[in-house]
Amino acid sequence: MATGYASLKIMRNENLAQNAKERGEYLTNALRELSKEYPCIGNVRGKGLMMGIDIVDERQAKDATGAYPQDGELAVAIQKACFNNKLLLERGGRGGNVVRVLCAVNINQAECEEFIKRFKQSVVDALKAVRG
């Protein structure tokens, strides 16, 4: 009980909920901007610092809903490249094509910017590995 109280006190005193909201908005927007350069990044969604990034095969035709097909193979390669670039991300989704981002609530702006830099490099590395 004391541990829970101490955790809540820290969250309140350090305004971690607001930090998560602000940093999450920054990361979501930055990832959406990145998707303009790398269309294999599909839908980016989430709340706060918990996000999902759909990895798609934009070289294929869109389906009836207007979405590109899932690309689980590329998602695996992105996850591996992220690990090599010192980022630890999960994968999920029915086709294994969703890269999940789960940042610490005390992440700062410089760390967010570094995350985007490393994630971008990971996408580049994965695209080279899978698509040549």
Determine, yes or no, domain membership for 82: yes
Determine, yes or no, domain membership for 7: no
**Domain CATH number, residue 60:** 3.90.1150.10
Quick one: pLDDT at residue 11?
84
Determine, yes or no, domain membership for 2: no
| Strand 90-92 versus strand 41-47 pairing type | unpaired
Residue 40: give the domain boundaries. Answer: 15-131
User: CB neighbours of 91 closer than 8 A, spacing ≥ 6?
Assistant: 75, 76, 79, 97, 98, 99, 100
Determine, yes or no, domain membership for 67: yes
For residues 118 and 87, the answer to whether their CB atoms sit within 8 Å is yes
How large is the greatest C-alpha to C-alpha distance in the chain, in angstroms?
56
Q: How far is CA 12 from CA 24, 33, 42, 54, 86, in A?
A: 18, 32, 35, 33, 30
pTM score, whole prediction: 0.93
For residues 50 and 102, the answer to whether their CB atoms sit within 8 Å is yes
Instruction: Name the pLDDT band for 17 (thresholds 50, 70, 90).
Output: very high
Quick one: which of 73, 24, 67, 71 has its CA closest to 45? 24
The count of domains in the chain is: 1
Quick one: pLDDT at residue 75?
99
- pLDDT tens by residue, 49-67: 999 999 999 999 999 999 9
What is the overall mean pLDDT for the chain?
A: 96
Quick one: pLDDT at residue 110?
99
Determine, yes or no, domain membership for 74: yes
Determine, yes or no, domain membership for 81: yes
